[in-house]
């Protein structure tokens, strides 16, 4: 760190992304909730047909092609949509648009750690309201905290639980600032809160192609909200934060809903099998509407187990956050990967017993 760094940034830790091993390594990677299946064939076709002209020119700053395709899929006008370099970028844009040093950023905990980092980068100490053991949304506490921005990931990470739309609507009615509903995992869930944006002009729903569409490497996320909110966000974002390739490939991906839905069904089936197998091994498994499971074992220390797995080339995620330090978050992999994981758990637990 240099003395040039702005004072409020000197004391904050910044965000630590999940470990990304180099391509070609033989790890079983269940730590960052990537989709275990490849993206749509239409994405690869579009990639093969890219010509130099697409790269010579600046991209369309509004990614109209993508917004029109997404608008068709979600039955919404394209001027209710804006795109950015992943939904992480949209979260950052939202903070820059609506939060200054005197305003509050509010969210329930535990949740996506980036919310804390982005608030701190903005010079604000966030207001974190604890979830209870069953991850019920603390609606009135969130609302009375009076955030300029209130964030709810639904389904939530690392819990995997989804908030019913009636509860999100209650919160929407009570908050005074902007309500962000981060639906990064919606493709694996039973329902969506997207309908809320029509009735509540201060609600923003965030979506990403990273999880459901198997395109975490592409970096494309989008926000859906009232056109006036969208205009506020467009004012703040970098004009060209989504490049021509991401726009083209993202359009191909979102037009292939069948591919996305098929893979989501496979992941959900594997999720059920894995949850059952883990329960057989004595794990507590929280109900999940995502492509991961939050798990806890009465005999195993979570951090030790995570490191033991890492030595055996299996990456899972441990969070040093209140109420989940004793738990692990495990991405649902292919059935083969999940079976290998369970074999390792079996070895670990039997070694524990005999020691």
Ligand X SMILES: *Cc1c(COP(=O)(O)O)cnc(C)c1O
Q: Which residues bind ligand X (CB under 6 A)?
A: 33, 86-88, 112, 153, 157, 182, 184, 208, 210-211, 216, 221
Q: How far is the CB of 353 from ligand X (least distance, A)?
A: 35
CA 107, 111, 115, 119 torsion-angle sign: positive
Nearer to ligand X, 30 or 300 (CB): 30
Nearer to ligand X, 147 or 297 (CB): 147
284 forms beta bridges with: 296
The rounded distance, in Å, linking the Cα atoms of 228 and 234 is 10
H helices of the chain, where?
Answer: 7-10, 41-48, 52-56, 64-74, 87-98, 114-121, 139-144, 165-174, 196-199, 227-236, 244-255, 257-280, 302-311, 335-354
Nearer to ligand X, 225 or 300 (CB): 225
Q: Give the 3-state secondary structure of residue 329.
A: strand
Q: How far is the CB of 349 from ligand X (least distance, A)?
A: 29
Q: Which residue is nearest to ligand X (CB)?
A: 86
Q: How far is the CB of 65 from ligand X (least distance, A)?
A: 19
Nearer to ligand X, 93 or 184 (CB): 184
Contact 317, 293 (CB under 8 A): no
Q: How far is the CB of 89 from ligand X (least distance, A)?
A: 7
Q: How far is the CB of 77 from ligand X (least distance, A)?
A: 22
Nearer to ligand X, 94 or 153 (CB): 153
Which of 75, 65, 120, 72 is closest to 95 using CA atoms? 120
Q: How far is the CB of 303 from ligand X (least distance, A)?
A: 21
The rounded distance, in Å, linking the Cα atoms of 19 and 34 is 12
Nearer to ligand X, 142 or 300 (CB): 142
Q: How far is the CB of 36 from ligand X (least distance, A)?
A: 15
| Strand bridging mode 221-224 / 203-208 | antiparallel
Q: Report CA Rg, the chain.
A: 21
Which of 64, 71, 66, 139 is closest to 107 using CA atoms? 139
* Burial class of residue 134 (count of CB atoms within 10 Å of its CB; 0-12, 13-18, 19+): exposed
Order of strands, sheet of 328-331, starting from the edge strand that comes earlier in the sequence: 284-285, 292-296, 328-331
Nearer to ligand X, 46 or 216 (CB): 216
CA 83, 85, 87, 92 torsion-angle sign: negative
Q: How far is the CB of 280 from ligand X (least distance, A)?
A: 28
Q: How far is the CB of 163 from ligand X (least distance, A)?
A: 13
Nearer to ligand X, 233 or 300 (CB): 233
DSSP string of 51-118? -HHHHHSPP-TT-HHHHHHHHHHHT--GGGEEEESSHHHHHHHHHHHH--TTS-EEEEESS-THHHHH
Nearer to ligand X, 153 or 314 (CB): 153
């Amino acid at each position: 760190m240099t003395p040039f760094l702005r004072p409020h940034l000197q004391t904050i830790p910044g965000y630590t992304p999940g470990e990304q091993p180099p391509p070609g390594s033989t790890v079983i990677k269940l730590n960052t909730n990537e989709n275990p299946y490849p993206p749509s064939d239409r994405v690869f076709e579009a990639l093969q047909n890219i010509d130099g002209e697409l790269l010579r020119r600046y991209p369309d700053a509004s990614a109209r092609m993508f917004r029109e395709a997404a608008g068709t899929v979600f039955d919404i006008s394209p001027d209710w949509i804006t795109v950015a370099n992943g939904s992480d970028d949209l979260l950052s844009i939202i903070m820059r648009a609506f939060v200054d040093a005197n305003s509050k950023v509010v969210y329930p905990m535990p949740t996506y750690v980036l919310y804390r980092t982005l608030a701190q980068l903005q010079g604000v100490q966030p207001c974190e309201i604890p979830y209870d053991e069953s991850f019920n949304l603390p609606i009135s506490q969130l609302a009375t905290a009076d955030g300029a921005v209130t964030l709810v990931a639904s389904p939530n990470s690392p819990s995997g639980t989804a908030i019913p739309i009636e509860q999100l609507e209650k919160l929407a009615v009570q908050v005074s600032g902007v309500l962000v509903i981060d639906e990064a995992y919606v493709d694996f869930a039973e329902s969506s809160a997207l309908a809320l944006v029509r009735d509540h002009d201060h609600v923003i729903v965030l979506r990403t192609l990273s999880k459901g569409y198997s395109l975490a490497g592409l970096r494309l996320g989008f926000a859906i909200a009232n056109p006036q909110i969208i205009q506020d966000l467009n004012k703040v974002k970098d004009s060209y934060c989504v490049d021509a390739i991401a726009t083209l490939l993202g359009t191909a991906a979102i037009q292939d809903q069948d591919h996305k839905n098929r893979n989501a069904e496979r992941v959900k089936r594997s999720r059920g099998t894995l949850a059952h197998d883990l329960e057989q091994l004595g794990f507590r498994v929280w109900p999940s509407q995502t492509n991961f499971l939050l798990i806890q074992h009465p005999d195993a220390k979570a951090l030790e187990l995570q490191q033991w797995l890492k030595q055996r080339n299996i990456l899972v995620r441990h969070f040093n956050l209140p109420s989940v330090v004793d738990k692990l978050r495990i991405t649902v992999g292919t059935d083969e990967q999940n079976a290998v994981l369970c074999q390792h758990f079996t070895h670990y637990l039997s070694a524990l017993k005999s020691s």
